[in-house]
Structure 1
Amino acid sequence: MGSCIICGTPADGAICDSHEQDVLFEFAGDNPNQLTSGRYYSGTVDGFAEFGVFVNIGDRVTGLLHKSELDQRLDSLDWDEGETVFVQVTGVRDNGNVDLGWSIRQSEREFRGKLLDDPERGAILPEDTDATDEDDESDDQQATTDGAGAVSPAERETDKTDESEESDESDDSQSETESDTEESDADESSADSTDTEESQPERTRVTIDSLSDRVDEEVRIEGEIVGARQTSGPTVFEIRDESATVDCAAFVEAGVRAYPEAETGDLVALDGVVELRNNELQVETDELEKLEGDDRKAVETRLEAALTSEARPDDVDLLADHESVAAVHSRIRDAAEEIRRAVMESRPVIVRHNATADGYVAGAAIERAVLPLVRDEHANSDAEYHFFDRRPLEGGDYDMADATKDATQMLDNRERHDEKLPLFVLVAAGSTDESRDGLELLDIYDAPRVTIDAGYPDDGVADLADVAVNPHLDGTDAADLTVGALGANVAAHVNDDVRDDVSHLPAVSYWEDAPEDYTALADEAGYDADHTTALREAVALEAYYQSYEDKRELITDLLFEHEKRDLAEHVGEQFREKLETELDTVGPNLSVRGENGVSFTVLDTEAFTHRFDFPPTAVLLDEIHRRGLGADGAPGDEHVTLGFGEDEIHLRSDGRVNAREVAAAAAEQADKAGISATGTRDGAIEFLAGERDAALDAVVEAVSDQL
């Protein structure tokens, strides 16, 4: 019976069951059945096929990482044959085939330890294998974040002292008589001690952003511990000062936590040597001290002053002269400050956006602004995948299901990796009652929250965010505003360097009637009207497929890569073909009815649409309403489009109809239909399927009364 290298609990080997997925395993067996499902293994790329990647696990076992398991397109995977990669074993089939899963951690430094998966001895530390000459040599290696063999700074100094003393004793024996040796040694030892103290003055503090110029030098840094992880070798502390963040490796013995009194959030002074490991900076720790009293206060004040100064963006101009955006200029700056502060505090930024073309455009704009800041802040090359994530919302609202998933993940990361709670940025969501419960759950855990939305809000929901960017909150009619325009302006304030990169996005976000200032910006950036249309349609199509995935590389290629214009044209053409085919299908099945001077185009989406293929109901109804299908020759000047499904009605009225008021009035007339609303203007009306006809009649009457 051993003990877990992470939590110290008794374990059958070096790791407990609850932490098996936190460490990296090296496979020492020769049979697929000796692998353990669920564990993460190091491997080497053996070859590529149309359906995935073959990866060697150990010397004699090969598994398949199917393309469906990847978080990106197979042709964009930057792997070479023979390259070391990290994968999860998800299963071993009866015929010996090994199924592999994707690991977001593609660096040993991201795991909390490294173990050997030995079929005979189980999960053991690499140091526990039979001693060899190579092992003896590895004992002299410096501590590294990948868990390699290491010796502590104290041991290094002891070795140096022992060698020095042996040399001194040898010299003394040649120059002095045996009776005088003890006295002479004492005198020389005292003199050596005095000389050492005088020759090693206290190190001067340096800033982390200067470490690239100080490789192999002894330095002192002062800052906050923003993360700590235990490897099978050293403990790795992530230290942030007023300038940047760096990993610092501290070694006691293999798999043992160094400086256990130091935790995330503590302010410390650290002495060490700057090293360059795998082209990444790290500091080998000689000494780490928690700061208290005046010393702590001085560092705390310095960090806070730097954060406040750096996080608050300059009062830069908006992308264009737009009244609805100008009304929330100060809120945009506040939102940008929260995002910039999160990056500087090593707090993950999670963007949750509606899975529509508009939501994707806004989310991608913020992503474009934040990623360079993350790369500048963190020395490790894959930080952008760990400190920023964009997660589309399939349902369009931040409901309890979304919040529960996020809360579970953030609490798991805090428990396992000592990670700070993330900043959640809700885009094209977070303004209505459907998001209230989700925001309240985040509020209970005090996870910071920003909402960016152009939709009509419900009372009090915006108060659940630390910063809410929505012109309607300031009494401004934002009917001419998209969230893509808001998101692009927030991005320009987060990082002014990407201003030119995102200037065309507002024009992309408008399906019709884009303000001239935005179309002019797009023209200046090389995006004419035809291309912005193709971009919008391409993103709308990709937003539908695998709507829960961010598709980071694909969206980047579509929105920001000029040389890949053909990609947008190709995908956009698919959008138009699929949409026109569906419009041809539903056209003959549109019904028109009038009520109190209002004409209604009604589509029975349950009976006359292909419900499980593109386009989805929302996209289809938007296009029907934009084209005014069914409105010609209908009575009245007011026109409303209704999508009538099995248990819900979608409203389209150019924002003139308040769905909650309609639902309240309709519920009085059809009191057995269980009518309720989701969303405010042009939302959806839900009802009981058994009262379908009664619900439709009640909604039509309520809409006509409201208009």
Structure 2
Amino acid sequence: MGKCIICGASVDGRICSSHEEDVVFEFRGNDPHQLVQNRFYTGIVDGYADFGVFIDLSSNVTGLLHRSELDRRLESLDWEPGDEVFVQVKNVRDNGDVDLAWSIRQSEREFRGALIQEGTTELDREPEDDDDDDSGGVTHKPTPDKPGESESDEGNGGADAGDESADDAQHEQSTEAEQSADVDSSSADESADEGDDESAEDDLDAVRDRNQATPEGEHERVGIGSLSNRVGESVRIEGEVVGARQTGGPTVFELRDETGVVDCAAFVQAGVRAYPEIDVGDIVRLDGEVEVRRNEIQVETDALAALDGDQAEAVQRRLADAVSDEARPDELATLGDHDAVDAVGDDLLEAAESVRRAVIESRPIVVRHAATADGYVAGAAIERAVLPLIREEHAKSDAEYHYFTRRPLDEPVYDMDAATKDATRMLQDRDRHGEQLPLVLLVGTGSTKESNDGLDLLGVYGAERVVVDAATADPEIADTVATLVNPGLAGADASDLTTGALASVLGATVNGDVADDLAHLPAVSYWEDTPDTYTALAEDAGVDADRVTDLREAVALEAYYQSYQDKRELITDILFDSEGSELAGHIAGQFREKLETELETAEANIEEREVDGHTFATLDADAYSHRFDFPSTTLLADELQRRGDRDATVVYGTDELYIRADSDVDVRSAAGDAAMAVPDAGVTAVGVRQGRVEFLAGRRDQVTDAVVDAVAGQLE
């Protein structure tokens, strides 16, 4: 029995349950299940992701501080990799994943005490760590010079410092990294002697020299794909560096060859960049020992060097040949039968190859899609296809969160606001985490000239852009992006094709193993007049018409709320959960209730007009709809036109309006005519796909009248 360090109560350990959250622990365990829920722990920032921060709690245990747990925006954190921070363990999952919570106390002096948790044992914090204690907290041991050599071997221990070998310097540096003690802690005069400081620096240089050594000798090269069968062996691998990140301990290089991708840890000193001359994109040769860390294969680097000349070219040829063979799909997937899809078959194959190539080359994929039911279906179809490929390619359990992101857009235009956000994130990921520039896949957006500026911004940095859109597209976009998939530009009639249906074919082409999962999605993407081929496809997949409606409406409701979030797990549950799930039906019920309430109010306040023999409905959305609640103005306009017996509907607000009509309307032409009629109103078409026109608020009534007249002139 011991006594609580806070209140003195008798306890098993050093802290009672009532004061457990008043103490911060240094964790010296190797199993996440040894952590105690709700305790506070010290940790080291390992790195950032879009969804949070990875924190090393010990050399073998890492947790995730999700952005939802922060008391501020993720972007406002001033933490850098290697910083010591304080976090609370919120939960340890069955698979060993650790969920962390934010600690408002970010200094040890703000806690009432500090303890060490060694495994499951609680120990008092000693004034100075013993040099022979090798169980420190967040550490990383250097790889031995020779295979099988123990880090604890002292080599020429006891020799004079001036004659100390590089092996001895490595051993003392390992002790320093693990214990945060002085390199010369065994010296009698450890506190002030300048000669000792110089010796410590020499030791560090010796370790750095050892780590910067060039692979030499005749070693047999092995493929990364075979490393799981070579644990404990010393190996040589050659390939391309596709990622480099600095942790609180080692530098981790992500290396790719023609058979796979693996993390390779290189250590100089805690938080110090190893091999600073090696960068992302370099072709390298690496010698090291295969280990298993956190249930994942990793190589402890002994030596690493960049290749050039014929050697580099040989590796590049192997990689290029392997990528080409693996990335090109065998054939276009068959999901239903639609002439417009067949018309862009070659373009779909090109887009699918770009996606598969990005996965193989460890380039992140960013999918941009509209925050609509059709947009979410399209994005989810591609997500469903790509995530299994990422899991197969990367050993890291969280790779799918690093290498695939969906970012919905409120507007179906890829404007400078969206492009600036994407450019900022990709440059941060490149500079802070050593990631490659992403493939940006725009689905149902980015196909009109209003998106040119945004696309050009990404092009300045060389980020690959692919656009897939079943609706209106402008031919000049084809010159801006790597691939443009658009049936209209291919000369096909795509009036009855949705982007969700087109993207589902793309997803099945990217990964044929998920084709059955995607079979019902084309039907879900239609609000009305679903082609028979897609209705039959959904029925064959066991999804009847009522279920299709539930799925569509559930996705539409969730697309509105938190529209800038991907809601990956929720959307997956809605679209791909078992038939017995009640989730989609429950959410669809809310959709109908909210929509009917809004429609009842709107229809009671519609102004009916007759212009040139055509009937119009106009609605002041500011006055007769809830602007900040479901449904969105665009969906309200859609429903008013679908349900009304009229030729066109115009829903207007403070400085924008939306046009809906049964026949095709040239929104740019209508906006141009209105601009001529009201020249001082700043009229412009900003969302061709949405039928959206903007203007100056002070001229709203005049612009609305002018747009109605212009649309009437286009109706047959």
Q: TM-score, normalised by structure 1?
A: 0.76
| Counterpart for residue 134 of structure 2 | 137
What are the equivalent positions in structure 2 for 1:599-638 lying under 5 Å apart? 599-627=615-643, 629-631=644-646
| Counterpart for residue 650 of structure 1 | 658
Q: Is the 8 A contact 2:369 2:442 kept in 1?
A: yes
* Residue type at the aligned position of 1:692: R
Deviation string 1:566-610 (CA, Å, 9 cap, x unpaired) is 100010111111111111112222222111222212222122112
SS of the counterpart of 1:473? coil
1:597 aligns with 2:613: yes
- 1:565 Cα shift? 2.7
Q: Is the 8 A contact 2:412 2:690 kept in 1?
A: no
What are the equivalent positions in structure 2 for 1:156-555 lying under 5 Å apart? 156=149, 162=155, 202-555=218-571
- 1:655 Cα shift? 5.2
Deviation string 1:497-537 (CA, Å, 9 cap, x unpaired) is 11111111000000111111111111111100000010000
Q: Structure 2: how far apart are the matches of 1:371 and 1:442?
A: 24
Q: Is the 8 A contact 1:357 1:539 kept in 2?
A: yes
Q: CA RMSD in A?
A: 3.5
- 1:369 Cα shift? 0.7
- 1:434 Cα shift? 2.6
CA distance 1:605–1:102, change in 2 (3 Å) = closer
Q: Structure 1: how far apart are the matches of 2:698 and 2:133?
A: 78
Q: Structure 1: how far apart are the matches of 2:80 and 2:556?
A: 37
| Counterpart for residue 41 of structure 2 | 58
Q: TM-score, normalised by structure 2?
A: 0.76
Q: Structure 2: how far apart are the matches of 1:663 and 1:158?
A: 74
- 1:208 Cα shift? 0.9
- 1:681 Cα shift? 5.8
CA distance 1:471–1:360, change in 2 (3 Å) = same
Q: Structure 1: how far apart are the matches of 2:625 and 2:35?
A: 45
Q: Structure 1: how far apart are the matches of 2:673 and 2:608?
A: 22
SS of the counterpart of 2:134? helix
| Counterpart for residue 10 of structure 2 | none
CA distance 1:697–1:286, change in 2 (3 Å) = same
| Counterpart for residue 713 of structure 2 | 705
Q: Structure 1: how far apart are the matches of 2:329 and 2:681?
A: 51
Q: Structure 2: how far apart are the matches of 1:516 and 1:552?
A: 29
Q: Which stretch shows the higher mean deviation, 246-255 or 390-399?
A: 246-255
Q: Structure 2: how far apart are the matches of 1:523 and 1:313?
A: 27
- 1:459 Cα shift? 4.3
2:682 to 674, 684, 691: 674
CA distance 1:611–1:135, change in 2 (3 Å) = farther
1:572 to 571, 577, 588: 588
Deviation string 1:22-51 (CA, Å, 9 cap, x unpaired) is xxxxxxx9998999xxxxxx999876xxxx
Q: Is the 8 A contact 1:153 1:285 kept in 2?
A: no
Q: Structure 1: how far apart are the matches of 2:684 and 2:582?
A: 45
Q: Structure 2: how far apart are the matches of 1:668 and 1:114?
A: 60
Q: Structure 1: how far apart are the matches of 2:144 and 2:408?
A: 47
* Residue type at the aligned position of 1:113: G
User: May I ask how many residue pairs the two structures share in their alignment?
Assistant: 584
Deviation string 1:334-353 (CA, Å, 9 cap, x unpaired) is 11111111111111100011
Q: Is the 8 A contact 1:71 1:102 kept in 2?
A: no
2:670 to 662, 670, 674: 662
- 1:663 Cα shift? 0.9
Q: Is the 8 A contact 1:558 1:564 kept in 2?
A: no
Q: Is the 8 A contact 1:226 1:346 kept in 2?
A: yes
CA distance 1:422–1:347, change in 2 (3 Å) = same
* Residue type at the aligned position of 1:297: E
Q: Is the 8 A contact 1:44 1:85 kept in 2?
A: no
Q: Structure 2: how far apart are the matches of 1:84 and 1:239?
A: 21
Q: Structure 2: how far apart are the matches of 1:564 and 1:513?
A: 27
Q: Structure 2: how far apart are the matches of 1:101 and 1:213?
A: 45
Deviation string 1:282-330 (CA, Å, 9 cap, x unpaired) is 0111222211211111101000111111111111332121011111111
Deviation string 1:360-388 (CA, Å, 9 cap, x unpaired) is 00000101111111111111111111111
Deviation string 1:42-69 (CA, Å, 9 cap, x unpaired) is 999876xxxxxxx43239x9xxxxxxxx
CA distance 1:254–1:531, change in 2 (3 Å) = same
- 1:114 Cα shift? 5.9
Q: Is the 8 A contact 2:412 2:687 kept in 1?
A: no
Unaligned runs of 5+ in 2: 1-18, 26-31, 44-49, 53-60, 87-106, 111-115, 117-124, 160-215
Q: Structure 2: how far apart are the matches of 1:527 and 1:269?
A: 52
Q: Structure 2: how far apart are the matches of 1:348 and 1:687?
A: 38
State percent identity of aligned pairs.
53
| Counterpart for residue 168 of structure 2 | none
- 1:564 Cα shift? 5.4
SS of the counterpart of 1:379? coil
SS of the counterpart of 2:488? helix
Q: Structure 2: how far apart are the matches of 1:521 and 1:652?
A: 30
What are the equivalent positions in structure 2 for 1:81-96 lying under 5 Å apart? 85-87=63-65
Q: Structure 2: how far apart are the matches of 1:276 and 1:366?
A: 32
* Residue type at the aligned position of 2:680: K
| Counterpart for residue 80 of structure 1 | none
CA distance 1:87–1:680, change in 2 (3 Å) = closer
Q: Is the 8 A contact 2:142 2:151 kept in 1?
A: no
Q: Is the 8 A contact 1:504 1:527 kept in 2?
A: yes
Q: Structure 1: how far apart are the matches of 2:294 and 2:130?
A: 25
1:113 to 40, 57, 82: 82
Q: Which stretch shows the higher mean deviation, 305-314 or 558-567?
A: 558-567
CA distance 1:565–1:162, change in 2 (3 Å) = closer
1:153 aligns with 2:144: yes
CA distance 1:269–1:406, change in 2 (3 Å) = same
Q: Structure 2: how far apart are the matches of 1:432 and 1:341?
A: 26
* Residue type at the aligned position of 2:510: V
Deviation string 1:588-639 (CA, Å, 9 cap, x unpaired) is 2222211122221222212211222111111111111112x153xxxxxxx1
Deviation string 1:658-685 (CA, Å, 9 cap, x unpaired) is 1100111121122222221123366112
Q: Structure 2: how far apart are the matches of 1:540 and 1:581?
A: 16
1:556 to 572, 583, 589: 572
Deviation string 1:205-256 (CA, Å, 9 cap, x unpaired) is 1111111111112211110111112223222111000111001112233333
* Residue type at the aligned position of 1:148: T
CA distance 1:502–1:158, change in 2 (3 Å) = closer
| Counterpart for residue 184 of structure 2 | none
Unaligned runs of 5+ in 1: 1-28, 36-41, 48-54, 62-69, 73-82, 91-97, 105-109, 140-145, 167-199, 632-638
Q: Which stretch shows the higher mean deviation, 227-236 or 296-305?
A: 227-236
Q: Is the 8 A contact 2:340 2:487 kept in 1?
A: yes
Q: Structure 2: how far apart are the matches of 1:575 and 1:159?
A: 65
Q: Is the 8 A contact 2:332 2:345 kept in 1?
A: no
| Counterpart for residue 180 of structure 1 | none
CA distance 1:259–1:324, change in 2 (3 Å) = same
Q: Is the 8 A contact 1:147 1:234 kept in 2?
A: no
* Residue type at the aligned position of 1:259: Y
| Counterpart for residue 182 of structure 1 | none
- 1:489 Cα shift? 0.6
SS of the counterpart of 1:520? helix
Q: Is the 8 A contact 2:239 2:283 kept in 1?
A: yes
